[in-house]
Structure 1
Amino acid sequence: MAPLPTLLILLCAVRGALLYHPIWKPMWPASKVPVVLPQLTEDLDAPEFTAEAKLEVTSPCGPECHKRASVPSYEELKELLSYETLYFNGSLTQTNVGIYGLNMAELARTQGNKGRSRAKRQIYGHDSRFSIFGKDFLLNYPFSTSVKVSTGCTGTLVADRHVLTAAHCIHDGKSYVKGAKKLKVGFLKPRQKEESSNQTRSHLPEKMKFQWIRVKRTHVPKGWIKGNANDIGMDYDYALLELKKPHKRRYMKIGVSPTAKQLPAGRIHFSGYDNDRRGNLVYRFCEVREETYDLLYQQCDAQPGASGSGVYVRMWKREHRRWERRIIGIFSGHQWVERDGMPQDFNVAVRITPLKYAQICYWIKGNYADCRDG
């Protein structure tokens, strides 16, 4: 646990109390967002929900492997961004999509960018995570946007009834997980204080509990379901959950992921329900060490259960003339790869690219005209 002064400074920074240099401000970059629209929806056989939920993603394909992958063609992108929708009654559909306004030459140029050189992940002894206590923090923005997914992962509120999480929390790449049939989202709230006439407990962290809301439907991209066969599935490890009723909390909007060099201090932030600290919301921040077009490789300490957390940054939105936090990625988990005969591990987040932004935004709003500002 960090010393109290360090923690107070950190929490002030998270809540926006620290000032940036008066001249320089990290700006949200303008992004050219294409349009992703549904074209044909067909019924599929109801899934059997036989898979065990796995809270970590494994892949033999590391950063160099992803960078060597060929740029998908237009037809391949349409297939990768097609999606399955799972409904609360167990029925399943598949929706094919069309993509419009996409500059394939620009995509090839940006996706071919090699990014920064990688630094090996080395964390010894000191745990850089912070458990967040007290309803004054837990029930206030931005920590209040983190929710618990009943399959064991974390999610983030991105609209008044939508939650963004990792696809592997719902589907293992072959089948839907057992808990996906009756999927729920948990909202942290304080318990009623126990009355005690003989002892005061004001010095103890306030006990918390979850209030659960059922999920109405879940969208999972085919890039995750089909991509696991050829090591590109991790690029599409995201899913959107629609709740049966509004949650009535402040949420965090999604945004197109800037490049690592555009991030404030090169850092990202996220909070999740790590399994080794049950019942606690755990916050962390760290520097991005390397990136590909679809992934961010970083050194944030995390444990299973944090996967699905929304990765966010706070930058200046020129058009609105204000600071805005936005979700720019989804924490996927630890990735173990074989490199030069030696196993190495990374912490990986899926970037919200312009295409993914267009897709997720349409899932939320149902109108492409509301999804042009990434």
Structure 2
Amino acid sequence: MNNKSIALFFTTVITCAIAISSSVQAQNNPKISNPKFIQSEEGGNFKLPGKGKPFIPNDVEQSIKPNESTSRGIPDGYDDRILMTSNKYPWSTIGRVEGTTTDTKSYHCTGTLIYDNLVLTNSHCVIDPETGVLTRDIKFLPNFINGRVDNPKDIASVEEVVYGTDFKNGNQDNAKDWAILVLDKPLGRKYGYLGWKSIPSNVLVRNQNAFFFVGYSGDFPTFNPGMIAGFEKGCSIVAEEEGVLLHDCDTAGGSSGGPIIATIDSQYYIVGVNNAEIKNLGTGQDIINTAVKISTIEEALADR
């Protein structure tokens, strides 16, 4: 795919990358977060702690199986996702980001704990890329399975958002489509958190079928869409263009912000953050998906 193709398809795709939905549990939490928004270029005191290292609490079991009971944005035409129903690490670190806009519309994305009180997701999950309007209420629901969090007291409100872009520059800002949510609860101490690692794109591309992806897609599962995360093993990062990674993991609206994960020395690291699906506007056929590079996030925060 050439750069012209990406520019042609990207804006339409980005607007479709969230899913319109809300969980009952989040609706029962009346606290409106009204988070403070800080663009990464504005400076401030925020520093990304943890040095990219993962953390596993002593009392949290581990499992390589995302589904303890069992095997769209789909470029190859085959849906390889299975249900993520495990509450063990690393699956415990991934949850639903739920937002309410100023006109009271609700939607969801995916986010991942990367420190005690920090969640990594997309900018377009907290800022409308078409209007620039900020989301007035954002919640994080950790390890959200079958439409619920095991302990409703663990539903966290977002107090602050550090983001890479507000999309005022249009398509050229899609590579900066990341956001870090600062929670009002240190959920990472209970659920654990993933590491993150900046790996050169050529190395990622060489390691075909080596990654896995988790996201709360709005089309999956068919019996309860968006209420259980989907997991796909063996997807690939196929190229880098225009500062974004191109990948073939199965996605749909709601999976935005979902982590592309690599296992390195038996530990789990985020190597990209899913943010969009590129489609043929004439046929609606999925072509490829895109993800934000970890180096983009690190460089933005290192400059502060």
TM-score by length of structure 2 reads: 0.65
Q: Distance in 2 between matches of 1:216 and 1:90?
A: 4
Shift of 1:299: 1.7
CA contact (8 A) 2:35 2:158 kept: no
Q: Distance in 1 between matches of 2:284 and 2:34?
A: 46
Q: Distance in 2 between matches of 1:227 and 1:242?
A: 25
- Correspondence for 1:331: 274
Q: Is 1:172 equivalent to 2:128 in the alignment? A: yes
Unaligned runs of 5+ in 2: 8-31, 45-73, 100-107
CA contact (8 A) 1:294 1:352 kept: no
- Correspondence for 1:96: 42
Q: Distance in 1 between matches of 2:172 and 2:94?
A: 27
SS in 2 for 1:234: helix
- Correspondence for 2:192: 250
SS in 1 for 2:167: helix
- Correspondence for 2:297: 356
- Correspondence for 2:237: 288
Q: Within 5 Å, give how 1:216-365 maps onto structure 2.
A: 216-222=159-165, 224-228=166-170, 231-247=171-187, 248-262=190-204, 264-265=207-208, 267-276=210-219, 277=221, 278=225, 279-285=227-233, 286-292=235-241, 294-316=243-265, 323-336=266-279, 345-353=287-295, 355-360=296-301
Q: Within 5 Å, give how 1:49-198 maps onto structure 2.
A: 63-65=2-4, 88-89=33-34, 92=37, 96-97=42-43, 122-124=75-77, 126-133=78-85, 138-151=86-99, 152-173=108-129, 174-177=131-134, 180-188=135-143
Q: Distance in 1 between matches of 2:270 and 2:291?
A: 11
The superposition leaves residues 176-200 of structure 1 with CA deviations (integer Å, 9 ceiling, x where unpaired) of 35xx21210012367xxxxxxxxxx
Q: Which amino acid aligns with 1:246?
A: P
Shift of 1:289: 2.1
Let me know the Cα RMSD of the aligned residues.
3.2
Q: Which amino acid aligns with 1:239?
A: A
Q: Distance in 1 between matches of 2:117 and 2:123?
A: 18
Shift of 1:160: 0.7
Shift of 1:332: 0.5
Residues 314 and 293 (structure 1), Cα distance of their counterparts in 2 relative to 1, 3 Å cut: farther
TM-score by length of structure 1 reads: 0.53
State which structure, 1 or 2, has the greater radius of gyration over its C-alpha atoms.
Answer: 1
CA contact (8 A) 2:159 2:183 kept: yes
Q: Distance in 1 between matches of 2:262 and 2:158?
A: 27
Residues 63 and 253 (structure 1), Cα distance of their counterparts in 2 relative to 1, 3 Å cut: farther
